[in-house]
Amino acid sequence: MKTIKNILGIVAAAAALTACVGDLNVTPIDPNANTVDKVLTSQSALDSYISGVYLGFATSGYYGPNGDASISGLDGGASQYIRGLYHHQELTTDESVCGWNDQTIKNFHYMNWTTDDTFIYAFYSRLLMQVASANEFIREVEKTDFDAGVKNRYLAEARVLRAIAYYHAIDCFGSVPFATEDDVVGTNPEQISRADLFTWLEDELKDIIAGNSLPGKDNVAAGHVSMGAAKFLLAKLYLNAEVYTGSARWNDCATILKDLMDDGYSLHTTSAGVYPAYQELFLADNDRCTDEIIFAIQQDGVYTQSYGCTNYIIFASTGGQMDPASIGISSGWGGLRMTPEFFAKFTNDDQRKLFYTDTQQASIDDIGDFTNGYAFMKFLNRTSDGGSGQEAGFVDTDFPLMRYADVLLMAAECEARGASCNGLAAFNQVRERAGLNPVFSLDLNEILDERARELYQECWRRSDLIRFGKFTSGYNWQWKGETQDGRDVDGHRALFPIPDSDRLANSNLKQNPGY
């Protein structure tokens, strides 16, 4: 990957950004001498500008891992987008625990977080910052007189990136502050209901898809969103429609999935080196797995350094007697492990069973002891030929936010819930790649377990458990509810609270029920 310099306008202020996102290679811009309107005079400037929007998903700030973080009041690494998403989507479930004593980190797994939790504040703020970043890009680019085809493609990219942030907002927080490029900068935004945000997202994504300005699978630049990403996000929205609005949309989900399944994506089934094909999706050179990965958050151990994203997943999953060198890193942080309930979902012949069990015990008797609970070895800073990433202190492994395997599992679920989507064949494709026997009928509980086995550590687990009615009650795991055997918790925990600090600053905001 190449070093680039980016310029990003956030809330009408131009700032210089340095990072490596996609394969863009652009000219540095001095913010002391230029403003956004002055520099947006070429396509290379557009490349520079939009790469800053992408950068918000990849790092904590714009000046390296130890530079100023964009979210104040918390360690920069802990406020990174994917790390925050992991806290909310994985640490709250049977999939992952973190044994650190960092502020309130254990409260995610205990399910006893409060309205002033700093980690929740950090992720909530990161989501809104991403929206603001995309809004400002759209606002400024709409003023330009670029060729319509070029202009519309960049605008469509920014709109998808904004939709990703709003999707995670509707999923985690429900009713949130809402603003687009048409709103006045500097005023407190109004709060949009969860149902109305669903409608806006649906209309926005359908309009982006109908506009046909995004490239297809074979023409998209590395690290950029394609038409497939817009379709994937719309399918996710429909998949969870009953949770978000009270009305199921299985047929609509099936329709967009069938469209996406005709776009040329496929499961990555052929290994190029020493690792199984499945694990190649989570290695330091996984950027070549464009057959299956629809959109990934790019990481580079030299140019995109962060204490979040896959750097967090890999380092925090390493500890105890594990060998960091075999994972391609310099040391382990000794944090993340799985519950015994999650481990029990795997059979020994499942090729996705990528765990470290030596010198570990299955039961988590002490959540603060790394040797309690089996450890993850799915994401590695190793290349498919057995080599290591560029650096041992930071990883090259991209985070696959959208994968074709998920498309197939969504199709299976839609069919099991009554929509026609060739779901049985799709489901068995995923099982075959894992080395498992096919099934002859679809069962919803088995689909949920298959999603767990296929997509662990990819930040979908909480949403899946909520959709299947097994998050707050109906299924328990160790330390849920702050008891070792696990217990049901109040149903309002299916949403996170609007942080106190934002409600105090914006009188338009109301708290989610139960808090």
pLDDT tens-digit series, residues 23-35: 222 333 344 445 6
More confident residue, 189 or 11: 189
- Return the pLDDT at 185: 84
The CATH class given to the 4-292+401-505 domain equals mainly alpha
Q: Residue 70: pLDDT band by 50, 70, 90 thresholds?
A: low
**pLDDT at residue 8 is higher than 50:** no
- Return the pLDDT at 29: 36
Dihedral sign of CA atoms 72, 78, 83, 85 in order: negative
CB 228 within 8 A of CB 217: yes
Start-end of H helices in 212-308 = 227-239, 241-245, 250-260, 277-280
pLDDT in tens, 92-116: 999 999 999 999 999 999 999 999 9
- Return the pLDDT at 305: 87
Mean pLDDT, the chain, rounded, equals: 91
pLDDT in tens, 188-199: 999 999 999 999
d(CA 352, CA 354): 5
- Among 165-169, 182-186, 268-272, the least confident range: 182-186
- Mean pLDDT within 69-98: 86
More confident residue, 239 or 65: 239
In 3D space, the residue among 357, 404, 402 whose CA is nearest the CA of residue 376 turns out to be 357
pLDDT in tens, 128-156: 999 999 999 999 999 999 999 999 999 99
Q: What is the CA radius of gyration of the chain?
A: 22
CB 436 within 8 A of CB 490: no
- Mean pLDDT within 324-334: 97
pLDDT in tens, 230-239: 999 999 999 9
CA count, 13 A, side-chain hemisphere, 292: 21
- Return the pLDDT at 79: 81
- Return the pLDDT at 67: 52
pLDDT in tens, 242-291: 999 999 999 999 999 999 999 999 999 999 889 999 999 999 999 999 99
- Mean pLDDT within 431-454: 98
**pLDDT at residue 394 is higher than 70:** yes
CB 17 within 8 A of CB 59: no
Helix axes 227-239, 404-416, angle to 10 degrees: 30
- Mean pLDDT within 150-170: 98
Kindly list the domain boundaries of the chain, sorted by start residue: 4-292+401-505
Q: Could you tell me the pTM of the whole model? A: 0.93
Neighbouring-strand partners of residue 296: 400
In 3D space, the residue among 68, 52, 43 whose CA is nearest the CA of residue 14 turns out to be 52
Q: Residue 82: pLDDT band by 50, 70, 90 thresholds?
A: very high
**pLDDT at residue 184 is higher than 90:** no
